[in-house]
Amino acid sequence: MNKDRMPNILLAPVVTEKSTMVGESSNQYVFKVLTDANKGEIKNAVEKLFNVKVDSVQVLNMKGKVKRFGQRLGRRNDSKKAYVRLQAGNEIDFTGGE
């Protein structure tokens, strides 16, 4: 994997009610990732950036919604989410609290 590409693979954590429930119940975290990233790249990026051990990665391709912009119909961009399951004892803290 390209060293310059690794920090750019993870775009943002997805913080929703569903992702919070998944995280609490099964030690999974949800990230918005590049659309051309594969499971191996996502796993390596999470392990290097957060110093944790990844158990598995599941990816979800989301098609962009058709939306109305004034009188015209437009389409939002496609995106990709990754559900990352960490090994027991590992944790990621997004709040940044001490």
Tokens coding 52: 């944790």
- Whether 94 is in a domain gets the answer no
Q: Is 75 part of a structural domain of the chain?
A: yes
If one counts the domains in the chain, the total is: 1
- Cα atoms in the Cβ-side hemisphere of radius 13 Å centred on 16: 9
Asked if residue 54 is part of any domain, the answer here is yes
**Structure confidence at residue 83 (pLDDT):** 96
Residue 96 resides in a domain: no
What is the per-residue pLDDT for 6? 82
Residue 27 sits in which domain range?
A: 6-86
- pTM for this model (two decimals): 0.86
Q: Is 80 exceeded by the pLDDT of residue 97?
A: no
- Residue 66 falls within a domain, yes or no? yes
Q: What is the pLDDT of residues 17-29, one digit of tens each?
A: 999 999 889 999 9
Could you tell me the CATH number of the domain that includes residue 42? 3.30.70.330
**52 within domain boundaries:** yes
Note whether residue 64 is domain-resident: yes
Report whether 50 contacts 92 (CB < 8 A).
Answer: yes
22/45 Cα distance (integer angstroms): 21
